[in-house]
A and B are shown apart, each in its own frame.
Chain A
Amino acid sequence: MSEASLAQIEKDTVATMAGTTWRYWLALGSAVALVGLGAWAWSVALREGLGITGLNEPVMWGALITTFVFFIGVSHSGTLVSAILFFTRSPLRAAIGRSAEAMTVFTILTAGLYPIVHIGRSWLFFFVLPYPNQRQLWMNFRSPLTWDVFAITSYVTVSMLFLYMGMLPDLALLARQVQGWRRPLYRVLSLGFSGTDGEWRIFEKAYPIFAGVVIPLAVSVHSVVSWDFAMTLMPGWHSAVFAPYFVAGAIFSGIAVAVLLLAGLRRGYHLERYITPKHFDMLAKLLLAMSLVMTFVYATEFFMAFYRGSNAEMEVFRWRATGTYAPVFWGVVLSNSVAPIALFWSRVRNNLPALITISVLVTVGMWFERFLFIVTTIARSFVSQNWGNYIPTWKESFICLGGLGWFFMLFLVFIKLFPCMAISESMQSQHAVDAAVTPEASHA
C-alpha cells in the first residue's frame, strides 16, 4: 500500500460506499437483467419440467451441475487466500482480503442454487435435509451427495461468519462516522464492538482460530464435491487424484475471478493507492503456479488412463481429446495451460489488460473444463450402446447466465452497503509501514 494517512484510508473506503456512478448502475442493471433472464428460464423449467434442458439419457448431468461445480470452485480461493495471507502476515491482505471473502460467500450462495434447479422439482429440495419424514426415512449418510449438503452448508456458514468477523472493527468505526439510515444498521451489526484494548486482545485471539478452521473446511468442501464424481466407478471420474485436482482447479479459477473483481473495483473506485501492481503481481504468480499444477494434473489423468489399460477409461480420454468435444478440450488446454505461461514474464504480470485477458480466458476455460469432465464421462461410459451426446439448450444456458448475474448483483450490492476494503486492517498495515520507514518516530 502506498502512503496514506489513517483518516484518508477511512475516507477513501467510505467513498466507495457513498459514490454511485453510472458505471455502477450499468453493471448492476446488467446483473439484474441476467438474473431476470435466468429466473424466467428457471420458471419455464419449473412449469414444463427439465425437458426444456438438453439433459437426456445417457447425459443427465450437464450445464447446471457444471455451473454448480464451477461456482463452488470459485468460492474456494477467496476465503482460502485471505486466510493464508493472514497467517503469513502479508500486508497485501488488507486491500484484497475483504473482496475475496465476499466473493467466496456470494459464489457459494450462487452455487447452492444449481442443485436445487437441477433436481427439477425444486420445491422438494428440503428432502436433502435431515428430518424425520412421514415414512420415518432418513437421508443416506453413505452418499457423497449427502456429504455435499453438510459440507456446503458448513462452508457457507463459516465463510459468512469469517467475513462478518473481519468486518466488526470497520462496522464499529462506520457506526460512529456515517449518518442516516446506515448508522443504526452498522451500530447493530457491529455487535457493540468499540475498539477497547480488551476487545482487541480477544479479537486477535479469536480471528486466527477462525482462520484455522476455515482453511481445512475450504479444502474439504471441494474434496467432497470431487467425491460426488470420484466415489462412482465411472471411467474418467474414479480416481484418487480427483480431490487435489478439484482443490487446485478451484484455487485456479478463484484467483482468476478475484483478479477480475479487484481490477473492476480498482478502476471503478480509483483505489489505485490501495490495490497496487504488487497485488496483481502476487495474484498473477499464484495464477501461473496453479496453471502449472493443473497442466500436470491434466497430463497425469491421460497418462494414468493409458498406462492402466482400462478400455473404458482409454476410450473416455481418447474421445475427450479427439471426439465431439475436441474443440472444447483444446480450447481448455489453450486457456488454462498455454495462455498463463505468458505470466512467467514480469512485463505481462505488470500489464493489467494482459492479466485481465488471461484471467477471463482462465475463468471461461475452467467452466468448460468442468463441463468436459462431467459430460464426456457420462456420454462415453462402459456400454457403447449407451453412448450419446449433450448440448445445453438456450434456456439451460440462460439459467447458468442467471447465476453469473446473481453473483455480480450480490457483490455489487455488498460493496454499496459495506466497506470493500478492511479499514481497520489497512490502518494497522499502513502504521506498520510507516513505523518501518521511520523506526525512531514509532519507537518509544
Chain B
Amino acid sequence: MPEELVAVYADPDEALRAVLSLRERGVSNAQVSSPAAFPVVHEVEHTGHSRALGWVALVGGLTGLACAMALQVGTSKSMGLVVGGKPIVAWTAFGVVMFELTMLFAGASNFLALAIFSAVSRRKVARSIRDLVSSERIVVTVPLTGMEPKLRDAARVVLGGALAEVAP
C-alpha cells in the first residue's frame, strides 16, 4: 500500500489553509476529498479529463444530428411516400427532429463522460480515504512515496494536528 499522510478537517477554510501552506512549502501533490465543491478543491493540482468534456458533448451532439438525418432521409426515401410533388427530403420539416436528437445525444454523452471520467479520476485516491468524507470531514491526502525527506517533514508539520489514522 502506498505511504501517505491523511488529514481530516471539519472546516473547509482550515483545509484550504493547509493546502495553500503545503504548496508554499513545495508540496504540490496534495489531494482533497470534499462533500461539496468548496474553494479548496480548486487549489490542488489536477491533471484530469475535464477539458475533454466539451468535445465529448460536441461529438455526441453531432452523432445525434447524423442519426436524425439518416433516420429521416432513409425512411422517407424507403417507403415511397406520396407527397404531391413536394420534396421527399424536406430539410425544414426535418430540422426539428435533428435539433432534438442533437441535444439528446449531446446531453447523454456528456453524462456518460462525467461517469467514466469521474471513475477514472477517483482511482487516484484509496477507497478507505474516500469513505472518510462526510458533511463535517474534508480529507487532505499527501502521497509520500518518492517524496524528498525535506518535503515529507514539511507535510507532516503542516498537516500535524489534523492527521488521521486510516485503516488499509
Contact A425 B36 (CB under 8 A): yes
Q: How far is the CB of B84 from chain A (nearest CB, A)?
A: 11
In chain A between 99 and 158, which residues have their CB closer than 8 angstroms to a CB of chain B? 130, 136-142, 144, 146-147, 150-151, 153-154, 157-158
Q: How many residues of A contact B (CB 8 A)?
A: 65
User: Which residue, of A192, A193, A195, A428, has the highest number of chain B Cβ atoms within 10 A?
Assistant: A195
Q: Which of B37, B38, B97 contacts A147 (CB 8 A)?
A: B97
Contact B121 A191 (CB under 8 A): no
Contact A137 B36 (CB under 8 A): no
A383 proximal to B (CB < 8 A): no
What are 29 residue pairs bridging A and B, where the CB atoms are less than 8 Å apart in the complex? A6-B36, A10-B134, A141-B94, A142-B93, A144-B96, A151-B100, A154-B104, A161-B107, A161-B111, A169-B35, A176-B131, A176-B134, A194-B33, A194-B133, A195-B33, A196-B125, A196-B130, A197-B46, A198-B48, A198-B121, A198-B122, A201-B121, A209-B53, A209-B57, A220-B103, A424-B35, A427-B38, A427-B135, A428-B37
Which residues does chain B contribute within 8 Å of A169, judged by CB atoms?
35-36
- B-contacting residues of A (Cβ < 8 Å)? 6-7, 9-10, 130, 136-142, 144, 146-147, 150-151, 153-154, 157-158, 161-162, 164-165, 169, 172-173, 176-177, 191-206, 209-210, 213-214, 216-217, 220, 224, 227, 423-425, 427-428, 431, 435, 441-442, 444
In the assembly, what is the distance between CA of A444 and CA of B38, in Å?
A: 14
Selecting from B13-21, B144-152, B160-168, the interface stretch reads: B13-21
In the assembly, what is the distance between CA of A423 and CA of B34, in Å?
A: 13
Q: Between A and B, how many residue pairs show CB distances below 8 Å?
A: 203
Contact A424 B103 (CB under 8 A): no
In chain B between 32 and 64, which residues have their CB closer than 8 angstroms to a CB of chain A? 32-39, 41-42, 44, 46, 48-51, 53-54, 57
Contact A444 B111 (CB under 8 A): no
B4 proximal to A (CB < 8 A): no
Q: How many residues of B contact A (CB 8 A)?
A: 66
Q: Which of B46, B79, B104, B111 contacts A138 (CB 8 A)?
A: B79
User: Which of chain B's residues has its CB closest to A429's CB?
Assistant: B36
Q: How far is the CB of A29 from chain B (nearest CB, A)?
A: 34
- B102-121 vs A, CB cutoff 8 Å, 1 = contact: the mask equals 01101110110111011101
Contact A7 B34 (CB under 8 A): no
Beyond A144-B96, A176-B133, A444-B16, 20 additional pairs, beta carbon < 8 A:
A7-B136, A141-B90, A150-B96, A150-B101, A154-B103, A176-B131, A192-B122, A193-B118, A193-B122, A196-B122, A197-B42, A199-B118, A199-B121, A201-B41, A206-B110, A210-B110, A213-B103, A424-B36, A428-B38, A441-B13
Contact B57 A220 (CB under 8 A): no
Which residues does chain A contribute within 8 Å of B34, judged by CB atoms?
195, 197, 200
